[in-house]
Structure 1
Amino acid sequence: MTRPPQPEPSAVVAATAMFVEVLVVGIGFLTGLGILATAIAGPDNTRRLAPVAATPLAAGAALAFAYALGILIDRAADTALAPARRRLRMQSFPTSSAYAQAQLKLAEIPAWAARADYARSRLRVCRGWILDSALLTLATDLALWRYPVEHRPLLLATATALGVLTTAGFYLSWHTITATGYCKLAAQTTPATAQTVPSQPPAPAPQTP
């Protein structure tokens, strides 16, 4: 009895990595939504709802929702960054057909394709966390404003500064990874130009005796 063909290990690893990336992005955004909801509800309502949120059923639903939310946030971030991505791509590939041909050539070499997949993994996390960081900063500031805390102005300034720096850091990381990826793809798939050999002066004609 023949067994059904098993998926290749590389495909399984890639699928697992993508699942983790989406989940990481979704958990970050869901955390921001939770802080935002807590800030809007206020201290009294939060204390009443805390026992319900701590149940295993709520934890399982939150995990499932975080994965679905991660897909949505990843697509939203990709759409928002599309103009910047196209500008970076045009620096290495002037036309879409040239980029498509380079992608086909890259797929023919597994080692290069694996490194490109790793770069795309980091890229997806960075672009998703641009939105996550912005939401977490806004939610934290609102929570600090609503709840009775000491040194509120200092905490608000600190949270805002850290949030802005984190958001900018994720954007710069995305920008660097994207630009570097296009440059490497162009260098790997563009045929090297032949080097011209400098012309040598003609050899002197032999002297006749």
Structure 2
Amino acid sequence: MAATAMFVEVLVVGIGFLSALGILTAAVAGPGDSRRLAPAAGTPLAAGAALAFAYALGILIDRAADAALTPVRRRLRTQSFPTSAAYAQARLRLGEIPVLAARADYARSRLRICRGWMFNSILLTLATDLALGRYPVEHRHLLLVMVTILGALATAGFYLSWHTITATGYRKLAAQTTSAVMPTVPSQTPAPAPAPQAP
């Protein structure tokens, strides 16, 4: 189940990146070449190749996004775990609690999609702006402004979502694993006082 979820996450990110590449290619090619290439792009063979390529691109973007956000991620982690060893021990303890581990997996799924689409939003915005500049469209300046603003808002929204999910995940992991290993002290009744001995 986890492998299937990860496949879908990578594919979702990859399809967005491939769409941005398609728009960018159309913008560079121009209206004339794009019309000539359109029939070949609509074949089943091209669709299958695009799906496989999207998955490969999803892996690439996921790794690139993770590497770019590593300094921020480490800074957020140190707010809940002073050392890498403490974080590793907490992850091991979390694996022993299936319910909490499933919730953590779901949070990581949303995290990967947010960080991947943060980069997708940047590329989609740039590619669409370039395409609007190359193709004859009405209200070009208005569309350029709208696309740029929406792209910036989407990028900021995905980053803030990633930041919030990451920080909350570390805080929950610290709290859950700490409470999971706290020893439970049973309530004890006071022992009766020893009976006085006869002189």
Q: Shared fold (TM-score greater than 0.5)?
A: yes
1:95-118 per-residue CA deviation (whole Å, 9 max, x = no partner) reads 000000100110000000000000
* Partner secondary structure for residue 79 of structure 2: helix
Superposed, which structure 2 residues align to 1:40-79 within 5 Å? 40-79=28-67
Corresponding position of 2:187: none
Which of 91, 94, 98 is the matching residue for 1:110? 98
| Residues 1:16 and 2:7 aligned together | no
Superposed, which structure 2 residues align to 1:1-209 within 5 Å? 13-191=1-179
TM-score w.r.t. the length of structure 2 is: 0.90
1:55-97 per-residue CA deviation (whole Å, 9 max, x = no partner) reads 0000000000000110000000000000000000000001000
TM-aligned CA deviation for residue 173 of structure 1: 0.2
Identical positions, percent: 79
Structure 1, unpaired ranges of 5+: 1-12, 195-209
Moved over 6 A (4+): none
What is the one-letter code of the residue matched to 1:159? V
What is the one-letter code of the residue matched to 1:178? T
User: In structure 1, what is the Cα distance between the partners aligned to 2:126 and 2:67?
Assistant: 22
TM-aligned CA deviation for residue 190 of structure 1: 1.7
TM-aligned CA deviation for residue 193 of structure 1: 9.8
Structure 2, unpaired ranges of 5+: 185-199
Figure out how many residues of one structure are paired with residues of the other and give that number: 182
User: In structure 2, what is the Cα distance between the partners aligned to 1:49 and 1:107?
Assistant: 50
What is the one-letter code of the residue matched to 1:182? Y
User: In structure 1, what is the Cα distance between the partners aligned to 2:105 and 2:166?
Assistant: 12
TM-score w.r.t. the length of structure 1 is: 0.86
**Pairwise CA RMSD of aligned residues?**
1.2
User: In structure 2, what is the Cα distance between the partners aligned to 1:127 and 1:151?
Assistant: 32
User: In structure 1, what is the Cα distance between the partners aligned to 2:183 and 2:72?
Assistant: 29
